Amino acid sequence: PKWVYSFGGGHADGSAADKDRLGGKGAHLAEMSRIGLPVPPGFTIATDMCAAYYENGRKLPDALRPMVDEALVQMASYTGAHFGDVEHPLLVSVRSGARASMPGMMDTVLNLGLNDETVEGLARRTGERRFAYDTYRRFIQMYADVVLGVDHGLFEDILENYKALKGYELDPELQAEDWIEIVARFKSLVEKELGLRFPQSLRDQLWGAIAAVFGSWQNARAIAYRRLHDIPDDWGTAVTVQTMVFGNKGDNSATGVVFTRNPSTGENELFGEFLLNAQGEDVVAGLRTPQPLTKQASAANGNGKVSLEEAMPEAFAKLKHNCAALERHFRDLQDIEFTIEAGELFMLQTRAGKRSTQAALKIAVDMAGEGIITQEEAVMRIDPAHLDQLLHPTLDPNADMTVLAKGLPASPGAASGEIVFDADEAVHLKSQGHTVILARIETSPEDVQGMHAAAGILTTRGGMTSHAAVVARGMGRPCVAGVAAAHIDLERETLEASGVVLRKGDIVTIDGSSGKIIKGRVTMRQPDLSPDFATLMEWADGLRRMEVRANADTPADAGMHRDFGAEGIGLCRTEHMFFQDNRIVAMREMILAETKEARRAALAELLPEQRQDFMALFKIMKGLPVTIRLFDPPLHEFLPHEEDAIADVAEAMGVEIARLSRRIAVLSEFNPMLGQRGARLLVSYPEIVDMQARAIFEAAIESGKELHDRVRPEIMVPLVATKRELDLIKERIAETARAVEKERETTLAFQVGSMVELPRACLVAGEIAESAEFFSFGTNDLTQTTFGLSRDDAGRFLGEYADKGIINHDPFMTLDAAVGELMEIGVERGRAVRPDLKIGICGEHGGDPETIGFCEKIGLTYVSCSPYRVPVARLAAAQAAV
């Protein structure tokens, strides 16, 4: 097999297409060489050798030797320097480089090829003893550290002590004799530490370094980085051996890093820094403050430091030219390493640059404008998941902060405010103009008003799909959930974490993007949607097939979603409307009523309120589709549990507390989520259907008049398992429609559809489609019922399941494949009966880019998600359609 790929002198065995085998660094060095950029010649040993190295018991196979020897000879042909030649020594770097960039995680050895003889040769040849010995000491330290395992701190101590003794402050003050002395001390340190001489055989050095760099694939840092970024362990690293060029050869030499555009703002300007008379590692080590590249940057923030543009105008002009060439060639922002040796520029690395989301947007839109990429490619370049960052305030990364604990980043954005522990209190304080953060052990629907009033929410229990997380995301409130390391005492109204106690009213900051909770106030950056955002969204809208709707429970939510460009409401959960104001009492009366008449009376109180909400919703939506889901809560969410609340309801109903308590006991269920809810409740209590249908129809007529158009509500029945359930409810709705049409002397346009959120409904979708005029997959419940798993309890063990490899993602965040298969069956069987069946998804998954890709594949009509996710969904739907 071919293991060794040479590059240099305008040629290369490999190219950018060989990233898998040559690693990103090796492949791009080959490519740069091919397109004629000045790249020091070298060769790359392919990533397969990494596996071979480990299989061979962490040893390099002998078969590699002749291949490397041959490549070294080829390198010599470009430069005239030979590896091991005392008079004209070749020095090399030995560099790591995997398929995916793992910056700084693996090892590199520079200046290899020096021993006591060749260092003298180098000094004679260059006429620079000081440079030669400076380079030798760098090599000994690095080789001893990386290959021999001697702590580099020991070398630094020697150097520091020496400088102190001689009264030197900076390295450039040291003369040749000083470095010669340092080299001697370094070598004896190695002898003392290891009991053997620093290796003088250049072959041994080279093999040692190549093996060590392959070995660094399995160092703890690299392993941890791969876990974090989902990089497979079996990819392995390549090793590149490359001719050294020297940025430390005097004041006409330098080394630096350049981004072809500003990676934080996206501005089209060279961005980077350099160090005079230094080697690459010095920039990273941060021992000296680097200088800016451009005159402009130097004027703006260079503190009077001379720019490369001014210091070396010729080399700078070449660099600028090469940057433009690389950007056009790779058609993306490049992050580049360069070195200038005695005025001559060399390119040492190029890769796609990491960038902020804001910069990503600007660069994609600009590059499409410059004709470097197409609009379609621009749309593909943006990670939908990152758009979230743009839509919420974020912590100023330069701010000082005391992090108290970390929880789950449940809903993005950051917020500061007074900490409160009670939802009503949050509402009260908000009405007095305070900004509050609501802290709860966990939240329930009774807290929803308080959550709405709060600027942010934090819980100490619960996962990414806990009530707090789901509701907060829907509202666009930042939320940190499940901060297990914090303790809330609801009695005392305190939160304790990291030994700090926050009392009610103390200022706390939460960051729902990172999960941090922080003491006190932190400066924030406000979201600032650039025109680029609008442009990219417009391009995305032109590409996508699926509609994007929003889930909105209240008129306020609906107003917000329109700003984000949703094309309708895919889910309006009517029960959330009942937690407002005093409606909850009427609602409880309705649920607890013992007779039809009593229930009707309570419902009659709710009717005008519902009608008003729907009218507001229809008006905001201006004729766009609105899907309203009939009543679907597990009843326990509505039953009063505290004495005060029970007394209130008893009074309103005119019954005794004891009697009401008995009724509550009768109604309570063992598994409310699987109990009498959704269609089951509506079948048993059809009066609820009557009231809700009437409210919807009357609102449609009223707001239709104002809009000079007909409003066509889509009425959706939750938790349907059989056609017959749907039929009974549909008939009730039709009866109400007929009655309202007669009363108002008008005709109504509406549809009745079914939620598909039970495995059974997926399987009998054909039957259900005979009655249902549309489907909407409720994937939260469908996931729960497919796994037989309660999402409110799953947080306890899903973490362990992920650790043990039982699941590889939270099925409540990204759709599980089996749940997807049920959906596919539902789509297929539903459309077999009703070919033009409109089908949507309205679970949490509707805002997840990966799930959206799947929805495109199975031909859904639309996805519906929380308002803040709408831009994410628009982009993801476009990418899925391309």
Q: Which residues are catalytic?
A: 467, 842
Q: How far apart are CA 786 and CA 92, in angstroms?
A: 59
Return the one option of Mg ion, ligand ADP, none that residue 781 interacts with (CB less than 5 to 8 A, by type): Mg ion
The reply, when asked if residue 816 is annotated as ligand binding, is no
Q: Give the tokens for residue 489.
A: 């005492």
> CB-wise, 66 or 104, nearer to ligand ADP?
104
φ and ψ of 420, to 5 deg = -135, 155
Return the one option of ligand ADP, Mg ion, none that residue 108 interacts with (CB less than 5 to 8 A, by type): ligand ADP
> CB-wise, 757 or 848, nearer to Mg ion?
757
Longest dimension (CA), the chain: 107
> CB-wise, 25 or 452, nearer to Mg ion?
25
- Pairing between strand 402-406 and 547-551? unpaired
Query: Is the Cβ–Cβ distance between 237 and 98 less than 8 Å?
Result: yes
**Applying CB under 6 A, which part among 103-111, 123-131, 664-672, 814-822 lies near ligand ADP?**
103-111
Q: How far apart are CA 174 and CA 177, in angstroms?
A: 8
> CB-wise, 108 or 861, nearer to ligand ADP?
108
Q: How far apart are CA 386 and CA 383, in angstroms?
A: 6
Least CB distance from residue 338 to ligand ADP, whole Å?
Answer: 8
Which residues inside 343-382 make contact with Mg ion, applying CB under 5 A? 349
Return the one option of Mg ion, ligand ADP, none that residue 281 interacts with (CB less than 5 to 8 A, by type): ligand ADP
**Applying CB under 6 A, which part among 236-244, 582-590, 612-620, 734-742 lies near ligand ADP?**
236-244
In the 3-class helix/strand/coil scheme, how is 488-537 assigned residue by residue? EECCCCEEEECCEEEECCCEEEEECCCCEEEECCCCEECCCCCHHHHHHH
Q: Give the tokens for residue 627.
A: 């899907």
**Applying CB under 6 A, which part among 9-17, 243-251, 308-316, 672-680 lies near ligand ADP?**
243-251
Classify each residue of 595-623 as buried b or exposed e, where b means 16 or more C-beta atoms within 10 Å of its C-beta: eeebbeebbebbbebbbebbbbbbbbbeb
Which of these, 415, 436, 411, 413, lies nearest to 424 by C-alpha position?
A: 436
Contact letters for Mg ion, residues 776-815 (x by CB under 5 A): --x--x----------------------------------
Return the one option of ligand ADP, Mg ion, none that residue 40 interacts with (CB less than 5 to 8 A, by type): ligand ADP
> CB-wise, 348 or 794, nearer to ligand ADP?
348
Query: Is the Cβ–Cβ distance between 93 and 86 less than 8 Å?
Result: no
Least CB distance from residue 757 to Mg ion, whole Å?
Answer: 5
Count of residues engaged in binding ligand ADP, rule: CB under 6 A: 17
Assign 202 to helix, strand or coil.
helix
Listed in sequence order, the residues at least 6 apart from 715 whose beta carbon sits closer than 8 Å to its beta carbon are: 627, 628, 630, 693, 696, 733, 750, 751, 752, 753
The reply, when asked if residue 117 is annotated as ligand binding, is no
Q: How far apart are CA 498 and CA 478, in angstroms?
A: 22
Q: Which of 6, 47, 334, 339 binds ligand ADP (CB under 6 A)?
A: 339
Contact letters for Mg ion, residues 728-767 (x by CB under 5 A): -----------------------------x----------
Return the one option of Mg ion, ligand ADP, none that residue 245 interacts with (CB less than 5 to 8 A, by type): ligand ADP
Q: How far apart are CA 590 and CA 595, in angstroms?
A: 10
The residue to which tokens 């007669």 are assigned: 742
Query: Is the Cβ–Cβ distance between 877 and 537 less than 8 Å?
Result: no
Least CB distance from residue 730 to Mg ion, whole Å?
Answer: 18
Residue 134 touches ligand ADP, criterion: CB under 6 A = no
Which residues inside 38-57 make contact with ligand ADP, applying CB under 6 A? 40
The reply, when asked if residue 433 is annotated as ligand binding, is no
Listed in sequence order, the residues at least 6 apart from 612 whose beta carbon sits closer than 8 Å to its beta carbon are: 699
The reply, when asked if residue 130 is annotated as ligand binding, is no
| Cα distances (Å, whole numbers) of residue 188 to 164, 174, 185, 458, 484 | 20, 20, 5, 58, 52
Tally Cβ neighbours within 10 Å of residue 439: 29
The residue to which tokens 């160092």 are assigned: 219
Q: Give the tokens for residue 64.
A: 């590699």
Return the one option of ligand ADP, Mg ion, none that residue 93 interacts with (CB less than 5 to 8 A, by type): ligand ADP
**Applying CB under 6 A, which part among 242-250, 707-715, 740-748, 779-787 lies near ligand ADP?**
242-250
Least CB distance from residue 706 to Mg ion, whole Å?
Answer: 32
Residue 244 touches ligand ADP, criterion: CB under 6 A = yes
- The residue nearest Mg ion at its CB is 781
**Applying CB under 6 A, which part among 101-109, 136-144, 688-696, 751-759 lies near ligand ADP?**
101-109
Q: Which of 48, 128, 193, 281 binds ligand ADP (CB under 6 A)?
A: 281
Residue 349 touches ligand ADP, criterion: CB under 6 A = yes
DSSP 81: -
Q: Give the tokens for residue 189.
A: 């340190």
The reply, when asked if residue 687 is annotated as ligand binding, is no
Least CB distance from residue 247 to ligand ADP, whole Å?
Answer: 7
The reply, when asked if residue 781 is annotated as ligand binding, is yes
- Pairing between strand 394-395 and 402-406? unpaired
> CB-wise, 347 or 823, nearer to ligand ADP?
347
Classify each residue of 442-471 as buried b or exposed e, where b means 16 or more C-beta atoms within 10 Å of its C-beta: bbebbbbbbbbbbbbbbbbbbbbbbbbbbb
DSSP 286: T
Least CB distance from residue 263 to Mg ion, whole Å?
Answer: 15
The reply, when asked if residue 629 is annotated as ligand binding, is yes
Least CB distance from residue 326 to ligand ADP, whole Å?
Answer: 15
Residue 93 touches ligand ADP, criterion: CB under 6 A = yes
Query: Is the Cβ–Cβ distance between 71 and 6 less than 8 Å?
Result: yes
Return the one option of Mg ion, ligand ADP, none that residue 778 interacts with (CB less than 5 to 8 A, by type): Mg ion
Classify each residue of 484-523 as buried b or exposed e, where b means 16 or more C-beta atoms within 10 Å of its C-beta: eebebeeeebbbbbeeeebebeebbbbbbbbbbbbbeebe
> CB-wise, 75 or 405, nearer to ligand ADP?
75
Query: Is the Cβ–Cβ distance between 92 and 82 less than 8 Å?
Result: no
Least CB distance from residue 877 to ligand ADP, whole Å?
Answer: 37
> CB-wise, 109 or 475, nearer to ligand ADP?
109
Count of residues engaged in binding Mg ion, rule: CB under 5 A: 4
DSSP 867: G
> CB-wise, 350 or 449, nearer to Mg ion?
350
- Pairing between strand 109-112 and 479-481? unpaired
Q: Tell me whether residue 1 is exposed, middle or buried, using C-beta atoms within 10 angstroms of its C-beta: 0 to 12, 13 to 18, 19 or more.
A: exposed
Least CB distance from residue 250 to ligand ADP, whole Å?
Answer: 15
Contact letters for ligand ADP, residues 738-767 (x by CB under 6 A): ------------------------------
Cross-strand partners of 714? 627, 751
- Pairing between strand 436-440 and 291-292? unpaired
Cross-strand partners of 334? 352
Residue 245 touches ligand ADP, criterion: CB under 6 A = yes
Cross-strand partners of 255? 275, 339
Q: Give the tokens for residue 20.
A: 């898998």
Contact letters for ligand ADP, residues 5-44 (x by CB under 6 A): -----------------------------------x----
> CB-wise, 221 or 738, nearer to ligand ADP?
221
> CB-wise, 292 or 778, nearer to Mg ion?
778
Q: Tell me whether residue 211 is exposed, middle or buried, using C-beta atoms within 10 angstroms of its C-beta: 0 to 12, 13 to 18, 19 or more.
A: middle
Binding site membership for Mg(2+): which residues?
757, 781
Contact residues: ligand ADP, CB under 6 A: 40, 93, 95, 103-104, 108, 110, 242-245, 280-281, 337, 339, 348-349
Binding site membership for substrate: which residues?
573, 629, 757, 778-781
Contact residues: Mg ion, CB under 5 A: 349, 757, 778, 781
Binding site membership: which residues?
573, 629, 757, 778-781
